[in-house]
Amino acid sequence: MDRSANPRYLAVVTLNKLEESEAFLKEIADSELQKGSLKRVDQGLYTELVYGTVRMRRNLDHVLSQFSSRPLAKIEPALLNILRIGVYQLFYLDKIPPSAAVNEAVKLARAFGHEGTAKFANGVLRQVLRGRDAVVYPSLEEEPVEHIGLKYSFPSWIVEQWIKWWGVEETLGLCRSMNEPPELHIRINTLKAAVEEVWTHLESKGITVRPGRYLPEILKVHPASLVVEDPWLQEGQYYIQDESSALAAHALQVGPGHTVYDLCSAPGGKATHAAQLMENQGQILAFDVSPQRLALVDQNARRLGASIIKTQVGDAAEDLGLPPAERVLVDAPCSGLGTMRHRPDIRWRKSGQEIKELVAIQKHILSRAAQYVAPGGLLLYTTCTLTKWENEEVAQWFLTEHPQFSGHQFPPGFPGQAAEPWMRTLFPHQHSVDGFFMSVFRKN
């Protein structure tokens, strides 16, 4: 077995490292792809196996627990990851023959273990193959939290909260949508190129292009590999950004000549978009607590030609001593649960307790941000998550604690579910974008 050129072997290595480290899946997977020597077709299989197995981990373990003679907690981690990859192929990859999925898993078990390990893997996976149509789940009617959590592979605490907030049917739709492959959206940088120009260029490279749902400068593109490798990305004609995130600069309602503070800016997608909507006229001051991450804002601003952006290291939770500005953006640190289609590991890394700690930080940053808004100016609060704790409840708290502000309307025709006229929540199953929340406040 040529291990560096074997997508399944590298997938097991990646999953092992994910469990052993604090790094996120994307960081580990990108590193393994760079180190390996996979052909392009095998890179696609590797990515599907890694992201799919992490996404469906709870479901895969539920299946395995019904066929393994050994408790999963007593199975060596590398072997358990091999079994998970095998079951993922049997249940979710129709193009791979079941016999190939089992045989390749047996080879992996031998490579990571010994002949006894290989025999165990073979026995379990062949039982799964014979009995895959008989897998049992708790009743949706009697145990909706466990049914949805096990079948669609989400932690029970997340499912329980979503059902409490939005009901069983909405939660089912949301969970199904979160497990679908993500679309790739790009934002055309109109400081450098016209939408039609980029569209024509990408199609000439064999890329499928479709319009965005809500914004004229957003395009949906496929395949991702060709889009990422195209030189126009590095030259700044376009920027990779989900349409949900791109809506934020429109919600901020910026115009040429405005002064804008972006208090949690890195990597700079929203700041560079604001500069684009401002026609590169005015001033954007971009802050981040991390000098390394702030360097990404500088790089992106230079690449996109957004010369009105100036960066400054600063902690948004501390007093930055800024004079009043017309527009202030708080893209707050959050649990990120709206991005699970792109970052499937995030569902296993967050907890209710961690979210409570984030809420305290979000409120603190918002209170600081309120000091920097000029009379008549707007403050925009955004997150890329789907919890009412971090979204609606924080927004309501802000207005209660800061009576000098009131909720402000969104631009006409703005998408999203509105709990109040000054709030918008975007759901993957309703709006076909990442989960995202926005709230606009105006200083009286």
| Exposed/middle/buried for residue 43 (C-beta within 10 Å: 0-12, 13-18, 19+) | middle
- H helices of 56-97, where? 57-65, 77-92
Nearest residue to 420 via CA among 403, 430, 408, 402: 408
How many residues can be counted in the chain? 444
> CB under 8 Å to 357, separation ≥6 — which residues?
none
3-state secondary structure of 403: coil
The answer to whether residues 275 and 191 touch, using CB atoms and an 8 Å cutoff, is yes
Q: How big is the CA angle at 383 (ends 232 and 55), to the nearest 5 degrees?
A: 75
Nearest to 101 by CA among 78, 84, 76: 84
Tell me which of 175, 264, 334, 384 is the catalytic residue.
384
Comparing C-alpha atoms, which of 350, 427, 19 is closest to residue 155? Answer: 350
Q: Quick one: which of 392, 398, 379, 363 has its CA closest to 443?
A: 379
Strand order in the sheet with 238-240: 208-211, 218-222, 184-188, 238-240
Q: Is 384 a catalytic residue?
A: yes
Relative orientation angle of helices 156-166 and 144-152, to the nearest 10 degrees = 120
Q: Distance (Å, rounded) from C-alpha 205 to C-alpha 198?
A: 11
| Residues labelled catalytic | 384
